Amino acid sequence: MIVKEHPVGTELVMSNTIGEDEIDFSCDPYIGLEFFNADDALKFYISYGNRMGFKVRIGQLYRSRTNGSVSSRRFVCSKEGHQLSSRTGCPAFIRVQLNDSGKWVVDHFHKDHNHNLENESESFAPTLQPKASAAIESSTEVTRKPRKKMLEVGNGEPISPFGVINFKRMRKEELEVQARIEPYVGQEFSTPNEAYQFYHAHAAYMGFGIRVGQLFRSKNDGSITSRRFVCSKEGFQHPSRVGCKAYLRIKNQPSGKWVVDRLENDHNHDLGLEKERKTKSLPASNILTEEVNTELVNGDIFRIDNYPVLRGARQNHIRSDWYNMLLEYFQSRQAEDTGFFYAMEVDNGNCMSIFWADGRSRYSCSQFGDVLVVDTSYRKSVYMVPFATFVGVNHHKQPVLLGCALIADESEESFTWLFQTWVRAMSGRQPLSVIADQDVSIQRAIAKVFPVTNHRFSLWQINAKEQELAGLMGNGFTKDYEKCVYQSQTVDEFDASWNALLVKYGLKDNAWLKEMYEKRASWVPFYLKGTFSAGIPMKESMESFFGGSLNGQTPLIEFIPRYERGLERRREEERKEDFNTSNFQTFLQTKEPVEEQCRRLYTLAVFKVFQKELLQCFSYLGFAIYERGSLSRYLVRKCGNDDMVKHVVTFNASNLDISCSCQMFEYEGVLCRHVLRVFQILEVREVPSRYILHRWTRNAEDGVFPDIGSWSSSQELKSLMLWSLRETASKYIDAGASSIEKYKLAYEILREGGRKLCRHREVLYATCELWRQACVCLFAWRNHFPLSSLLTLESTNESLIV
């Protein structure tokens, strides 16, 4: 059976009559039932729900891996999930899949509900009314109140409450006129949807497609202040995209109008061979809506950014079926890994954000948790799951996983809970620096949970704004901007260059540049050099830990397998680098003793960094510019060019303290070429131990802690020792469980270790007893007591000596 397709430009509206002349709703769902499109499948299932006595919501969608198009959809009972008190986790649903012929076929159908159905007489059936398009293109459910009253506009024509242009009411000639109008800066619209519909019509006429691009929110109340609509070929995330710069941006005005304030009409690709003279039906008429009424059991439900939440409560971007799947997975992992940790945020009885970290991640944090990268780049595009990672840098300069999370919403409360949970899972570890997005909610959460930690902004948000400015100002702006940001060596130099840039390009009133100047200590390289960041580059973003295999578009059914494969791939790379460091050595390229010393101590990756600096130092000159007592200063510059940047190296001979104005050691933890040049001048043959960071050495994971004084508390040090012992023991356990012979050997090793610990404790007790008796004798001698009397007294009062 094929259900008849409804006319273009119609939308399902709930009422008390059923349009049987347009769609056949006579049969029950069954596997193999075909529809012309997903819209009809939704209407059919709603009609079925009305007859049976339940309501329907749009559930999960799945996209093609090849071109990103929607390949299947789920329509579920309104009581599916547990995110609201009115929901019961009902399993009833229908799923339709797009087949090769272009039809949508029912491939899954669950009929039974776990709640009482409504009386059939109380239910109501659907009818069709004209509107711009159906809401099926939206990735989340949209059900509307019956007989929604249409608003009136100046000419008396009713439009939707969200300002959507009703193309169904326009004559063909009117559509032609709308499509021919060229957009221009200053053009006004009543709503973002109206602007989107206009630009869509114009794009169809000109022969290109559009997508919804970036949006910007107010720092004060989080409301949307501007939106970008871009050419469908913008960016490079898909082979069909060519980085087209064409876009239209609208900005909200105090009057409530939306005005075009930025516009780029030039494309870097050919437009359609034949311009479309007819405006097509548009997807998701309310795709830009911030608040949409819904018809669910609880009358206080409303919608923000297409996510249903209780009025006055926080929104939740995590679908209910993710909780069940992840909790089951966490419990199975905890049975295998005693160090596995997970936690769930609960707000007013609702499940919210989730955090988890396995034992290996927690141990890695004890060694490499000094720098923390919070990757929330899932927000770059439309996402199915808000998946974020906590990443560090190991002793091979590889990314290492320190935790994962699903973030329910982007509020300060959510990020505060997330960071506090990470600290609890990592035994109170406080990183030296955190690299995270610059949203106000994240900034406040970091300031609250990590009060002494430096917050460095992620680059992807900054780069997006920089590219936007570059597109408006031209290549000259990009050159001057990068020179100011990346080449300034002093505060005065940066301030002078920044002010000159604003004046030259007339950007003194640019709000974004004003904000970034105020926050310059969190993103300008000159200000960040004094904080340890494990050498993470300042000009480019750190690679995603899971790459493209696991991101915000990963469907539920593939999430855990991809997560485990991606994690195992990274850890296999770490094991491979461990093997290479243990079994291979880099060739020495000088006769300097410091090179041999550092080759012996550093991992291969870190030694290559040191070796590069050592080789470069031979092309530098050093001049003593100050000497008094043990303190001296040297001016170091490159040979052959007096105009090159000069650096000052300060050396204290009494304690071998040394520092350089380039601050490479402070930032990366490896001595720079300028310091090494001064070492050559002063004939220092060995790098002082304080300048060989333990985290970069071969034995960084071997349980040797030379820098114990750097730990903030005894509890933190105890946790480190605990994780180190547990990790080492787990290696023996894994190896010993492979065969009976290896089991016996591993068991004997552990027993011998236990006996040595017992002997050590007995020796310790004996030593304490000797010290006690010596104290008794000393006390008797100094106070002229007979020793025999004192020993008798002590036996009756053990607290005397104490």
Q: What is the third-level CATH fold of 320-456+541-571?
A: Nucleotidyltransferase; domain 5 (3.30.420)
pLDDT digits (tens, 9 = 90+) for 99-139: 877 888 888 888 889 888 875 434 343 333 333 333 333 33
C-alpha count within 13 angstroms, C-beta hemisphere, residue 86:
14
Contact 528, 456 (CB under 8 A): yes
Segment 482-486 mean pLDDT: 91
Whether 573 shows a pLDDT value over 90: the answer reads yes
Contact 22, 6 (CB under 8 A): yes
pLDDT digits (tens, 9 = 90+) for 574-615: 999 999 999 998 999 999 999 999 999 999 999 999 999 999
The values of phi and psi at residue 433, to 5°, are -145, 150
Whether 366 shows a pLDDT value over 50: the answer reads yes
Q: Return the minimum-mean-pLDDT range out of 195-199, 266-270, 796-800.
A: 796-800
Q: Which residue has the tokens 């945020």?
A: 345
Q: Averaging pLDDT over each range in 29-38, 187-196, 444-453, which range is the top one?
A: 444-453
Whether 797 shows a pLDDT value over 50: the answer reads no
- In three-state secondary structure terms, 201 is helix
pLDDT digits (tens, 9 = 90+) for 301-353: 222 233 333 334 567 778 888 888 999 999 999 888 888 999 999 887 788 89
Q: Which of 458, 429, 425, 445 is nearest to 369 (CA)?
A: 429
pLDDT digits (tens, 9 = 90+) for 54-100: 899 888 777 765 666 788 888 999 888 766 667 888 889 998 988 87
The values of phi and psi at residue 127, to 5°, are -135, 165
Q: Treating both helix axes as pointing N-terminal to C-terminal, what angle do 440-449 and 412-425 enclose, rounded to 10 degrees?
A: 40
The C-alpha atoms of residue 512 and residue 44 are separated, in whole angstroms, by 49
Whether 497 shows a pLDDT value over 80: the answer reads yes
Segment 630-653 mean pLDDT: 88
The whole-number pLDDT of residue 24 equals: 58
Percent of the chain clearing pLDDT 70 (strictly above): 72
The whole-number pLDDT of residue 353 equals: 92
Whether 422 shows a pLDDT value over 90: the answer reads yes
The whole-number pLDDT of residue 112 equals: 87
The whole-number pLDDT of residue 776 equals: 58
Copy the structure tokens of residue 571. 């850890």
The whole-number pLDDT of residue 723 equals: 65
Exposed/middle/buried for 575, CB within 10 Å: 0-12, 13-18, 19+? exposed
Write down the domain spans for the chain.
33-110, 174-264, 320-456+541-571, 459-523, 586-696, 717-759
> 528 vs 400, 440, 513, 523, CA distance in Å?
22, 20, 18, 7
The whole-number pLDDT of residue 772 equals: 63
The values of phi and psi at residue 560, to 5°, are -65, -45
Whether 37 shows a pLDDT value over 90: the answer reads no
- In three-state secondary structure terms, 335 is helix
pLDDT digits (tens, 9 = 90+) for 522-554: 999 989 999 999 999 888 777 889 887 888 778
Q: What is the pTM of this model?
A: 0.58
